[in-house]
Amino acid sequence: MCVIGYLLGSIPSGVWIGKLMYGKDVRDYGSGNMGTTNTFRVLGKKAGIIVLVMDMFKGTLTALLPMMFGMHVNALLIGLSAIIGHVFPIFAGFKGGKAVATSVGVLLVYNPEFFLIAWVIFLITLYVSSMVSVASMVGFTLITVVSLFYNDPILTIVALALTIFIFIRHWGNIERIKNGTENMVHFGLLYRKKQKENK
């Protein structure tokens, strides 16, 4: 199941959609990342939504594997294989996305209620900050705190591990936030770049 999950996670949704629908490799534009955010930025709303759904579904389908195989294995732990595949995809030179959408897709199966809470936290943080990177980092941090109320050690440990990993993957974004040059977004899903004010 972990091998299947890794292969599912390795599907480079952004790259495939970009090449098939637009004749572009999203890795050659924007941040150079193949994930959902850069797809929105480079290819637009339609492609971004498709990639978002595909990246989430990779996690969801992987988390469903224990049920499909009739095995009593923790779906969250199996779902980690898809997350690893998304970040280090064998089909894209082991250079993948930042794991946010795929991680949320795993949560949908493992705990639907927690999944909804995670989405609400992410959207509120995105609305307040106007930065996907900030919403991802702050969102995962808050999600980890919320997980403590579920009395589920595995959920909390995995959430904490993912939070640390998300911060590592967004290190370049942190530098841009500090410099005032991070990409901004509004809920129309149109991106613009924040420019420093000339004083």
Percent over 70 (pLDDT), the chain: 92
- pTM equals 0.86
Buried b (16+ CB within 10 A) or exposed e, 122-154: beebbeebbbbbbbbbbbbbbbbebbeeeebee
pLDDT of 195 higher than 60: no
Q: What is the pLDDT of residue 131?
A: 87
3-state secondary structure of 199: coil
Contact between residue 5 and residue 81 where contact means Cβ atoms under 8 Å apart: yes
Q: What is the pLDDT of residue 154?
A: 94
Q: How confident is the model over 101-126, as pLDDT tens digits? A: 999 999 999 999 999 999 999 989 98
Q: How confident is the model over 3-31, as pLDDT tens digits? A: 999 999 999 999 999 999 999 999 999 88
Average per-residue pLDDT for the chain: 89
Q: How confident is the model over 36-51, as pLDDT tens digits? A: 888 988 898 899 999 9
Q: Where are the domains of the chain?
A: 1-110, 112-198
Task: For the chain, report the end-to-end CA distance as a whole number of angstroms.
Answer: 57
Q: What is the pLDDT of residue 186?
A: 55
Which residue do the tokens 């594997």 mark?
Answer: 65
Q: How confident is the model at residue 185 (pLDDT cuts 50, 70, 90)?
A: low
Q: What is the pLDDT of residue 84?
A: 96
DSSP alpha helices (H): ranges in 44-152? 45-68, 75-87, 100-110, 112-129, 132-147
Q: How confident is the model over 53-70, as pLDDT tens digits? A: 999 999 999 999 999 999
